Structure 1
Amino acid sequence: MRCLQERNVERKWKRREGSEGPRVFKEFSPDMKMLVNHLYQHGYFKDANFLRRGELDFSCFYDSYGRDYIKYAAEKFGQDQQEIAKWLSGSDLKKLALFGCPSLTKKNVFSAKRLRNYFEIKEDTVCGKCVLKDSCKFVNQSVWKGDYKTLNLAVVMRVITLYALEEVHPELPVPDEIKASVSRLLNEVLKLSETIS
């Protein structure tokens, strides 16, 4: 019942914002279910008021409110577990960095750019072949201040969670190779989290 109430609030908010109404989301992949279970078991949903009696119910994630909370929880997990970043597969991360940005929202574009900067990949190498370049406000732009020589796990989690949730820009076809890298990275993160904790 509570999930239904949350979805109704979300629909009203979307209409007020001028969007086209609620989006239809795909069912979670096994990797995504594993990530959500892990986040739930480690307390990252303790403040999620949309879970009935605090119990994990995947039907609560069939709207953008629940999906946004997953992205928030994954990013928070990345902030708390930064030490995991140094053990992640560099080849899979570099494939993601070379592929481009999962969406055109500023935060997501900047996360992808930060990942490229970590691998010292020039912006025009990626932006030049990107199918979204005509719609992007940040094509070929570097947006750096501070130290970006350290791989930031919160940034990694933001990027891979978007791919795992299949919340990429509709015009961006994601090759199987990138999906496989995302899957491997999610599995690595969760295994490392258990060994480091």
Structure 2
Amino acid sequence: MARPKEFDPESVVDAAMDVFWVGGYAATSTSDLCAGTGLARSSLYNTYRSKRELYEQALRRYGERTRTEQAELLAQEGPVREVIRGFLLRAVDTQLADPQRRGCLALNAAVEVGDADPAVAGLTLADFDTIVATMKALIERGRATGELTSGGDPEAQARLVHAALTGIHVVGRVAGDRARLTDIVDALVDGL
């Protein structure tokens, strides 16, 4: 008779996500995952089969968080510029407050793995597309209320917001200067 699991698989995925977020996929060892999750190697592999499968589950969990955060962002009331500015400034503050300067897990995966792994590429693109869809909806809302009057395709502008966000994560990994990062936010939002 098999013993029941003595751990919560969802909590293990959360812990593994943090381990991958710090070390990336290639540099994260099974020992790192065991230490980060508190599981023995046998439990880890019996439940998740491979490091690769656990990485994919961690990226899925990260995507779930992104979807939740973006839904909350869409529900915010008030001027659209301030909603977008607040979203980007939270990214700045989060990046600068993180002693490990981890950035965005999806962006890190895209840079590290790229399109060499179609499943990972699909998960990162889905994460990016969630943010772009939210920004597009906010931009369209701002245009409908007359707050945003600049022309151009709302989807293209939403992609520009996402590009600014990725820039914040990348620059924030090496620069601790808040003004450098808020300049990105201000220039982007003023251009909307």
**Highest Rg: 1 or 2?**
2
- RCO comparison, higher one (Cα < 8 Å, 6+): 1
TM interval, shorter chain, is under 0.3
Q: TM-score, normalised by structure 1?
A: 0.25
